[in-house]
Amino acid sequence: MSYRSTIVSFALCTGLVFPPLTALAESPSLDAECVMRMAESADGATTMEEVRQQCAGVAPETASQEPADLQIVEKRLAADRESVTRPFTIMAHKPNYFLFAYNEEGWNPDPYREQFDEPDYDNDDKEMQFQISLKVPFAIGLFNDRMDIYGAYTNRSFWQVFNDDWSRPFRETNHEPELWAQFRNDWSIGGFTNSVNAFGIVHQSNGRGGVLSRSWNRVYANFIFERGNWAFGLKPWYCLDCDDDDSDNPDITDYLGHGELRVIYGRNGHEFSLMSRNQLESGFDEGAIELSWSFPLFGYPYLKGFVQYFNGYGESMIDYDSKSNRIGLGISLTGFLD
């Protein structure tokens, strides 16, 4: 796998491949500070031409263009590697988006009626939903540049902004911090490349008390494969506390299962995603599917249009055991491949 963000350390030290670093720095067409910064975190794949493109004042769109032969997951990994060379880097993790959502089945109001002793309370079938998901690098390039360690936080909120009868409350907010190690790989299976494997631990909860409280802790693996513009991830997990006597939701795996499958297709700025969870395990009774599409907006580079459809259980923690049939339309800041 090729990453353009660094120079090979060994070659710089020995001078066997590249000219001395001082010669690079003294070149009138190169930014010496850029060359030094790239050299500090060098790997063995970057070419001299790529160094010149990065540090010679080339137009940004030319300097950052990925080689055409990179597959879609490799491009995302390369972009992450370029970002982590900058101190205090915060990067996108899961998709970041804002949606206007409509659910024809209605979200379950019973827990709120019980918690607040408001028998007349009801949720509106329209709301705004948004997700903010960020990650930071903790350690990069371990074990001969094969292993990275990341931490992340994902916030997903469900805002009853049209429910003026009840002061437009946030129906639910899910918090999801996680920590994982990922290993770059190049195994080929059936024409697909197993580009990266990750192993981590994640906590998810809604930060509520009483009958509204929901939480669980999991360890998981994530095996990601790609071929051309296609990628899919197989993500099994194991719940660490679902059997506890004091669990707020001891049967959550009956609805969210023990893993999920995600398939992604990306081309010309469009990203299509399919998620399937707990379908076979539940006999297609208590599973879920999610279909997403992000697409360019009139050539505007910072936002994309976004459509998402969800059908099944576990859209949010509070409604993990209630079925939703929801469609949303909005904007996407980043997707799985950005």
Distance of CA 48 to the CA centre of its chain: 32
- Annotated active-site residue 2? The verdict is no
C-alpha–C-alpha distance, residues 182 and 220, integer Å:
12
Helix spans in 218-294 (H): 252-256
Residue 10, H or E segment: helix 9-14
Residues 28 and 19 sit within 8 Å (Cβ to Cβ) = no
Q: Is 233 exposed, middle or buried (0-12, 13-18, 19+ CB in 10 A)?
A: buried
* Assigned token pair, 250: 């001891």
Q: Which one of 157, 205, 282, 292 is the catalytic residue? A: 205
C-alpha–C-alpha distance, residues 284 and 332, integer Å:
30
Upper half-sphere CA count for residue 15 (Cβ side, 13 Å): 6
Mode of pairing for the β-strands spanning 259-267 and 270-277: antiparallel
Q: Which one of 203, 213, 247, 276 is the catalytic residue? A: 203
DSSP 85-137: TSTT--EE-S-EEEEEEEESS----HHHHHHHT-TT----SEEEEEEEEEEEE
- Annotated active-site residue 205? The verdict is yes
Active site members = 203, 205
